[in-house]
Amino acid sequence: MVNATQVSFFTLSAYFDTGVFKYLYFIIIISLYIVIICTNLLLIVVICKNRSLHEPMYLFLCSLFVNELYGSTGLFPFLLVQILSDIHTVSASLCFMQIFCLYTYGLTEFWTLAVMSYDRYLAICYPLQYHTRMTSKKIAVLIALTWLYSFLVHILIVFGLTAPLQLCGNIINKVYCDNYYVVKLACSDTTANNIFGLVHMFTVIFALIILILFSYMRILKVCFSGSKQTRQKALSTCTPHLFSLLNFSFGAFFEIMQSRFNMNYLPNMLRIFLSLYWLTFQPLINPLLYGLKMSKIRIVYEKVALNH
């Protein structure tokens, strides 16, 4: 048996020889990364610099865009190096850091989307009491808890439970480092990892899903019983968020399915695409979705553009 501290590197076996096409893949990946950085950063600046956008919904959006930049930075530079490399290896320390980064991104994304669902529920179901219920202090606490919880949980998972495991191999069948695949390499007892994973999923993830479902059930009830103006307001503010939520859930579902079940019958390119979907499409689509669909952001952006 080999102690995890003695494993100096992991091999990412999902890569295959693409020949000269690797330069095309490199151009595509770096173009996506540039678009993600520019669009998310632009919207963060627009929200931060304009006091008219210092409202709960836009502050939660700002936190969401910061998370998109964080998660993308944990993935894209790594992919760019690996695409050009002929030997697809990564040091153990860098691998665990990437796992930490990508997993905190995923949980922070889900927490933020759940908090945004709750915010929309208050705004639509209790419009007259909205600003007394969603105070500046409450916004700050919700954003801080979202990030702190995600970081603390994954410090425990990655560095407390996964890193100390005794490993019997170092081959990860993915194009990036994944906690579940590292745990599968363990030849020591992984009971603590499995129990913590199940408890966390049933207590926290299901609680967030229930919060989201409850929020949208109440929103739909108000929409069906309310005026045409109420329905239009709900649609204009909830449609981008609901689409973002479904997109992230769709990508995360396929990632979980691929990790837990044998999908070797699928083409390699399709498996790679599905494993990258939840990490690439969310930060790419969200700024475009919210920037185009939310009229207040669009109007402020147009004013900023005209002034420059």
- Assign 3 a pLDDT band (cuts: 50, 70, 90): very low
> Strand 2-3 vs strand 9-12: parallel, antiparallel, or unpaired?
unpaired
Give the residue from 219, 230, 237, 231 showing the smallest Cα distance to 290.
237
- Assign 189 a pLDDT band (cuts: 50, 70, 90): confident
Domain 2-307 has what CATH class?
mainly alpha
Q: Each residue of 110-139: pLDDT tens digit?
A: 999 999 999 989 988 888 899 899 999 999
Please check whether residue 124 is in contact with residue 233, taking contact to mean a CB–CB distance below 8 angstroms: yes
Give the residue from 61, 71, 62 showing the smallest Cα distance to 36.
71
What is the residue-averaged pLDDT of the chain? 86
- Assign 296 a pLDDT band (cuts: 50, 70, 90): low
Range in 30-44, 53-67, 222-236 with the lowest mean pLDDT: 222-236
Ordered by start, the domain boundaries in the chain are 2-307
Contacts of 248 (CB under 8 A, 6+ apart): 109, 110, 113, 278, 282
pTM score, whole prediction: 0.89
Residue 242 clears pLDDT 90, i.e. is over it = no
- Assign 302 a pLDDT band (cuts: 50, 70, 90): low
Please check whether residue 102 is in contact with residue 18, taking contact to mean a CB–CB distance below 8 angstroms: no
User: What pLDDT does 216 receive?
Assistant: 87
List residues bridging with 84 in a β-sheet. none
Place of tokens 């000269």: 20
Q: Each residue of 134-183: pLDDT tens digit?
A: 999 999 999 999 999 999 999 999 999 999 888 888 999 899 999 999 99
